[in-house]
Amino acid sequence: MRDRGTAELQTEESTLAQWKTGEVTDKRLPYELWLFLLISAALTSAAFLFSLVARWFHWGLPYSFPYFFVPGQLLSDFRFFWTKFSYLHTYHFYSSSGGYFMYPLPLFYLLRPLFATSRPFILFILLLLVSTSLLVYAFVRAMRSSGMRGVGLAIFVAATVLLSYPLAFEYLRGNVEIFLFSLTAFGLIAWWKEKPYLAAVLLGVAGACKIYPLILAGLFFSERRWRALGVAFGTAIAVTFVAALAFGPTVHAALAWDGFQLSLFQKRYAGVPSQLGYDHSFFGLVKFVTLPWHPNLTALVPIYVRTAAVLSLLLYFVRIRHLPMLNQVMVLSILSITLPPVSYDYTLLAVYPPLVMLSMEVARRAFAGLEPIPNAMRYFVLFAVLLTPLSFVTWFSNPHGAQLRCLCLIAILWTALRYPIAEASLTLQSKPVIEGALSA
C-alpha cells in the first residue's frame, strides 16, 4: 500500500510538472476569455455607433473616442514634439515662446534621435509598428506557454489587440507612452523569467523617463532581491544624471530647468478639470466630484502627492508585499497609473501585463480541469470595461468615461488586495483530464 501510494504521488507530481510547463494544450478558448472578448466587442460597437449618431445629428464629437473621428487629432502629441524640437539650439526651445517640455530630461534624449532625421513622422510610425509587433509577439509567446494553441490563441490575441482602446488612442495621439510601456513590459518579462538585473535596468530606465514605473520595483523588495532593487533605483538616478550632464550647461542648471517645466504641468493640467474626459487618476475622480463648484485644485496637488505616497507605502508594507506575485503585479501596475495627479488613457497600456498573466493562469487551469480562479469573471468584466472606448458615458454633454475607468481600476485593485490568487494544485477530479490531454 505504501509503495503504491508513493507511485501515485510521483505520477501526480510528474503530471503537475507537465501542466506547469505548458505541455497540456488545448485549442479551445476558456469561457472567461470569451466573456472578456464579447464585452469588449459590444462596448466598442456601442461607442462606434454613438460617435456616428453624434456626428449625424451634429451633437459634437466625443473627445474620448479615439478611432480617427476627431479631425486634427492624428499624431497631435508627436506634432507638438516636432514643433518644440524645431527650435532646438535656439533661445525659443528653452523659453516659453517655443512651448514647454513637461517631461523628465531622459525623455528628451529618447526623442531627439527622431528629429535628427529628415522624416521624423515616418520613423516614429515605424518605431510604433516595431514596438507593437514585439509586444504582440511577447503576448503570443506568453499565451502559448499557458497551453493555448490554434484557433483559440489566434482569436484571443487578434481580438484583444484590435479592440484595445489604449493602443488605438496611442496611435491616434502619437504619444511616446508605448516606448515607456515596452520598457516596463519587457522588464516584467525579464523578472518573470528570473532575470532580475535585466528587469531592474529596464524598469530603472522607464522610471527615469516617467518616475511612476519604479513602483514595480516593489516586486524586488517583496522577494528580498536587494541588489536588483538597488540596480533599479541606481539606473534611474544614473540615467537622470547623465541626461542632465549632457543637456548642460551644468547638472544643477539642467535639473532646475526641467523642474520648472514639470511644475508647469502641475499648474496647467493637474489641478484643473480640463481634459477630464480621459484622466483616470484618483485625483481626476476628486476633480469630477468637485466639478459643480468649478474649483482650481492646483494648491492641493502637492498635498495629494505626499498623502498618496505615504498611504501607498503603508499599504505596500501592510498588505501588498505579502500577496502572491500575480496579485502584486496587478496592484502595483494599477497604482502606477492611478497615483499620478494626472493619468491619461494611453497609460492604460500598463494594465496589459497583469491581464495577460491572469489570462495565462485561467487558461492553464481550464485546460487542466482545475478549480477556476475565484472572482475571475469579475476581473475580466472590469478589464473589458476598462480597455474599451466609453465615449457614450457623458454627464451634462461632457464625456466622463475616464471616471468610470477609475472606478473599474479601484474595483480591480480592491479585488486583488482582498482575494489572493493562490497557486493551483491537482485534485482527484482534475487528474483524468490532464492525463487524457497529455496522452492525446
CA separation for the pair 331, 222 (Å, rounded): 13
Contact 380, 366 (CB under 8 A): no
CA angle 21, 24, 26 (to 5 degrees): 130
What is the reported pLDDT for 397? 64
All three cell numbers of 71: 479631425
Q: For residue 162, what are the contacts with CB-CB under 8 A and spacing of at least 6? A: none
pLDDT computed for residue 266 by the predictor: 78
What integer pLDDT is reported at residue 340 of this predicted model?
92
Helix 177-192 to helix 165-173 angle, to the nearest 10 degrees? 140
Q: What is the pLDDT of residue 103?
A: 84
Q: Are 220 and 200 in contact (CB under 8 A)?
A: yes
Nearest to 17 by CA among 425, 362, 420: 425
Residue 58 grid cell: 451634429
Three-state DSSP at 395 gives: strand
Question: Cell numbers at residue 35, please?
Answer: 466573456
* Cβ contact 304:269 at 8 Å: no
368: exposed, middle or buried (Cβ count in 10 Å: 0-12, 13-18, 19+):
buried
Cis peptide before 249 (omega within 30 of 0): yes
The pLDDT value given to residue 430: 40
| C-alpha separations of 365 from 20, 104, 157, 358 in Å | 10, 43, 19, 11
Residue 8: predicted pLDDT: 47
Extract the C-alpha cell encoding 369: 480541469
CA 376 to chain centre: 19
pLDDT of residue 314: 97
The burial of 78, by beta-carbon neighbours within 10 Å (0-12 exposed, 13-18 middle, 19 or more buried), is given as buried
Q: What is the pTM of this model?
A: 0.87
375 burial (CB, 10 Å; 0-12 / 13-18 / 19+) is: middle
Tens digit of pLDDT at every position of the chain (440 positions): 334 455 544 554 555 555 555 555 666 889 999 999 999 999 999 888 887 777 777 766 555 454 444 555 677 788 888 888 888 877 777 776 667 778 888 988 888 888 888 888 899 999 999 999 999 999 999 999 888 888 889 999 999 999 999 998 888 888 888 999 999 999 999 999 999 999 999 999 999 998 899 999 999 999 999 999 999 999 999 999 999 999 888 999 989 988 888 888 777 778 777 778 888 999 988 888 887 777 778 888 889 999 999 999 999 999 999 999 999 999 999 999 999 999 988 899 999 999 999 999 999 988 888 888 989 999 999 999 999 988 777 776 677 788 899 999 999 999 999 999 986 554 434 434 334 433 43
The torsion region of residue 7 among left (phi > 0), alpha (psi -120 to 50) and beta comes to: alpha
Nearest partner of 297 among 283, 282, 276, judged by Cα? 283
Q: What is the CA radius of gyration of the chain?
A: 23
* Residue 125 one-letter amino acid: I
Half-sphere exposure for 361 (CA within 13 Å, toward CB)? 23
| DSSP H helical ranges for 75-119 | 76-85, 91-94, 105-115
Please enumerate in sequence order all residues whose Cβ is within 8 A of that of 277, keeping only pairs 6 or more positions apart, or say none: 62, 63, 64, 398, 399, 400, 401, 402
- Give the model's pLDDT for residue 432: 40
Q: Are 251 and 237 in contact (CB under 8 A)?
A: no
Q: What are phi and psi of 40, to 5 degrees?
A: -60, -45
Any residues with CB less than 8 A from the CB of 309 and at least 6 apart, and which? 339
